[in-house]
């Protein structure tokens, strides 16, 4: 979406410019640093020790790690062992959670796959999704990690998808509504308010 289009959809508000970071729990800070810095080449730019959770004022010590991408945005992790369990780090399906990074050429994609496999991390693909080609692996925390390449014609394909996005949601919801109601209840599907925040203002 262009800035002009986003401004139109938010009225007088300035558009949200980008993702600052996505954050996940990790089993161990050094193990996570090895994967993201040594294997994926994302420099560690911060490792902040906190003694309490800001906004909640709870005494929960944790380490907050940040790894930088080339565009300046970051991926972050929390090392907080007291509240962690091994089950939180089991491999999950890509539908449940995954993070995808971007490269610019097929050569780069294949070179990254070779490097990742050489580091002893199983990396499969490339998988052709039509609009992107992707390689996949898991980080030490069970997070599915993807590196993708935009296919030729990506922008045009996404422009066409934008035209039918709203209608496709309506079609999909009509097709799946009964299944979702049976699983979650109609009230959960119809709710248009966020869950209340537990953080203090």
The 3-state DSSP class for residue 194 equals: coil
- CATH number of the domain at 54, please: 3.10.180.10
Q: 118 and 137 share a domain?
A: yes
Residues 156 and 97 in one domain: yes
Question: Do 110 and 154 belong to one domain?
Answer: yes
151 and 96 in a single domain? The answer is: yes
What average pLDDT does the chain have? 91
75 has pLDDT over 80:
yes
pLDDT value, residue 129: 96
Residue 177 lies in a domain: no
Spatial separation of the C-alpha atoms in residues 61 and 80, rounded to whole Å: 7
Residues 75 and 40 in one domain: yes
Of the listed ranges 57-61, 99-103, 120-124, 152-156, the least confidently predicted one is 57-61
154 in the same domain as 128: yes
Same domain, 158 and 95: yes
pLDDT of residue 84: 82
Whether 199 is covered by a domain: the verdict is no
Report how many domains make up the chain: 2
Is 126 part of a structural domain of the chain?
Answer: yes
Rounded to an integer, the average pLDDT of 132-155 is: 96
Q: What is the pTM of this model?
A: 0.85
| 24 lies in the same domain as 67 | yes
- Taking the C-alpha atoms of residue 162 and residue 110, their distance in angstroms, rounded to an integer, is 30
The residue from 58, 81, 104 where one domain ends is 81
Domain presence at residue 13: no
User: Do 75 and 52 share a structural domain?
Assistant: yes
pLDDT in tens, 144-167: 999 999 999 999 999 999 999 999
Percent of the residues in the chain that have a pLDDT greater than 70, as a whole number: 91
Q: Report the pLDDT value the prediction gives residue 9, as an integer from 0 to 100.
A: 66
Q: What is the distance between the alpha carbons of residues 62 and 56, in angstroms, rounded to a whole number?
A: 14
pLDDT of 174 reads: 97
Model confidence at 7: pLDDT above 70: no
* pLDDT of the residue at 59: 86
Q: Are residues 106 and 76 in the same domain?
A: no
For range 178-201, the mean pLDDT: 83
Task: Please report whether residue 53 resides in a domain.
Answer: yes
Q: Are residues 63 and 100 located together in one domain of the fold?
A: no
Residue 178 token pair:
């009964």
Task: Tell me if 20 sits within 8 A of 73, measured CB to CB.
Answer: yes
Strands 144-150 and 132-138: antiparallel
Express each pLDDT in 89-114 by its tens digit: 888 877 888 999 999 999 999 999 99
Within a domain: 188: no
> What is the spatial distance between Cα 180 and Cα 186, in angstroms, rounded to a whole number?
8
In-domain check, residue 97: yes
Domain-embedded: residue 77? yes
Domain range for 101: 91-163
* Exposure string for 133-150, b = 16+ CB within 10 A, e = fewer: bbbbbbbbbbbbbbbbbe
The two three-digit tokens of residue 14, written as one number: 């300035």
Report, as an integer, the average pLDDT of 40-57.
90
Task: For residues 118 and 152, state if they share a domain.
Answer: yes
């Amino acid at each position: 979406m262009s800035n002009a289009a986003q401004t139109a959809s938010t009225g007088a508000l300035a558009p949200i410019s980008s993702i600052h970071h996505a954050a996940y729990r990790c089993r161990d800070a050094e193990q996570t640093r090895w994967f993201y810095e040594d294997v994926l080449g994302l420099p560690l730019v911060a490792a902040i020790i906190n003694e309490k959770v800001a906004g909640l004022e709870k005494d929960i010590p944790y380490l907050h790690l940040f790894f930088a991408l080339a565009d300046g945005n970051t991926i972050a992790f929390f090392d907080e062992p007291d509240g962690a369990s091994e089950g939180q780090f089991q491999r999950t399906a890509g539908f449940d959670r995954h993070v995808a990074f971007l490269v610019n050429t097929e050569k780069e994609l294949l070179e990254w796959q070779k490097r990742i496999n050489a580091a002893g991390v199983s990396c499969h693909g490339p998988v052709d999704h039509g609009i992107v080609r992707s390689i996949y692996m898991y980080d030490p925390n069970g997070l599915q990690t993807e590196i993708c390449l935009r296919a030729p014609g990506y922008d045009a394909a996404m422009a066409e998808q934008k035209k039918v996005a709203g209608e496709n949601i309506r079609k999909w919801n009509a097709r799946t509504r009964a299944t979702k109601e049976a699983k979650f209840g109609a009230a959960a599907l119809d709710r248009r308010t966020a869950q209340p925040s537990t953080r203090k203002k």
